[in-house]
Amino acid sequence: MRKTASLAFSALMLGSLMGVSSGSASAAPQAAQPAATTQNVSASAECVKALDWYTKRSSRYVKVKNSCARTACFSVSIPWRKDPTFSIAANTTKEFRYGGALWRKGTGIKNKSC
């Protein structure tokens, strides 16, 4: 009797584990949706482009061009420091001060949501 009960319990546990693993397998197609969102973000990131990086009057500047018909937000990537966030109007070119001359030079631009 004990062997039958333990076998039934084992089968029940195995069945519940199979149900959990099949539930996680059904969640996998949902993970593909953020990839499409990432493609949208990278497409909108192409609107903002860094034209020039330079130092002027003890400050670091980046000259940026927005080629989209909407306001875009971005951040300047700086090693070992919190990245400053800026916004630029539609179809404009503008320079932004992101740090002092002794700070590290920016390494790139990341798109942000406004």
The enclosing domain of 73 has a CATH number of: 2.60.40.20
13: pLDDT strictly greater than 50: yes
Rounded to two decimals, the pTM is 0.57
96: pLDDT strictly greater than 90: yes
Q: Are residues 33 and 75 in the same domain?
A: no
Write down the pLDDT at residue 73: 94
Q: Are residues 35 and 51 in the same domain?
A: no
Q: Side chain identity at 56, as an amino acid letter?
A: K
Can you give the residue range of the structural domain that contains 25? 1-43
Q: Are residues 95 and 63 in the same domain?
A: yes
The C-alpha atoms of residue 34 and residue 113 are separated, in whole angstroms, by: 15
Q: Side chain identity at 61, as an amino acid letter?
A: Y
Locate 10 and state its tokens.
Answer: 């084992």
Q: Are residues 55 and 10 in the same domain?
A: no
Q: Are residues 39 and 73 in the same domain?
A: no
18: pLDDT strictly greater than 70: no
Q: Look at the chain and report how many structural domains it folds into.
A: 2
Q: What is the average pLDDT across 68-72?
A: 93
Q: Are residues 64 and 84 in the same domain?
A: yes
